[in-house]
Structure 1
Amino acid sequence: MTEIVLHDIDQVLVDRIKRVADTRGWTLPRTLLHLLEQGLHVYEGDGSVHFDSSENDVLEAALAALQDIPDDGGFAMIGKLPSDEPDA
């Protein structure tokens, strides 16, 4: 494998890379390789997120289940802003 040497890297970037390595339990070379591979996938593609078929099926099922939740005026209001209209 080719050795990659990076010069003049901002310390904040170095710290971020080390945090990823520590969190994942990876060595710095493995972390850099993974980050480069993932970054290339983003730049080589159109930047959109793509799911494989099993992930897509699960997401569609979850969205369908959420659509079946009745509008109960309580739980369904979580995260919604109150109306500015006065009560009639």
Structure 2
Amino acid sequence: MTDIVLRDADPVLVDRIKRVADARGWTLPRAMQYLLEQGLHMYEGDGSVRFDNSEADVLQAAIAALEQVPDDPGYAAIGRVSRTDPA
């Protein structure tokens, strides 16, 4: 495998990469590899976000829970479109 060398990088960028590595428990080279791979996927792809199965399940459960919030004139109306019957 080719070594990745990052020269003259912005210190803020390097700090962000280190934070990703620390948060995931990865070595710095592993974090660089992952970030490059993901960046290329986003750049080459259509830019859409894809979730793995566990993330999709959690998101679906959260949406289902939010859909169960009872109607009221305040909080539950946030983000909802009122439907009026055209008849």
Q: 4+ residue stretches of structure 1 with deviation over 2 A? A: 50-70, 72-75, 77-80
Q: Distance in 1 between matches of 2:5 and 2:57?
A: 42
Displacement of 1:12: 0.7
Contact 2:17 2:31 in 1 (8 A): yes
What one-letter code is carried by the residue in structure 2 that aligns with 1:15?
Answer: D
TM-score after normalising by structure 1 = 0.65
What one-letter code is carried by the residue in structure 1 that aligns with 2:16?
Answer: R
How many equivalent residue pairs?
A: 80
The structure with the largest alpha-carbon Rg is 1
The aligned counterpart of 1:5 is 5
What one-letter code is carried by the residue in structure 1 that aligns with 2:12?
Answer: V
TM-score after normalising by structure 2 = 0.66
Identical positions, percent: 73
Q: Distance in 2 between matches of 1:54 and 1:14?
A: 30
- Taking CA–CA contacts closer than 8 Å with sequence separation of 6 or more, which of the two structures ends up with the larger relative contact order? 2
Q: Distance in 2 between matches of 1:72 and 1:50?
A: 34
Unpaired runs of 5+ in structure 1?
81-88
Q: Distance in 2 between matches of 1:56 and 1:16?
A: 26
Q: Distance in 2 between matches of 1:58 and 1:22?
A: 24
Root-mean-square deviation over aligned CA pairs: 2.9
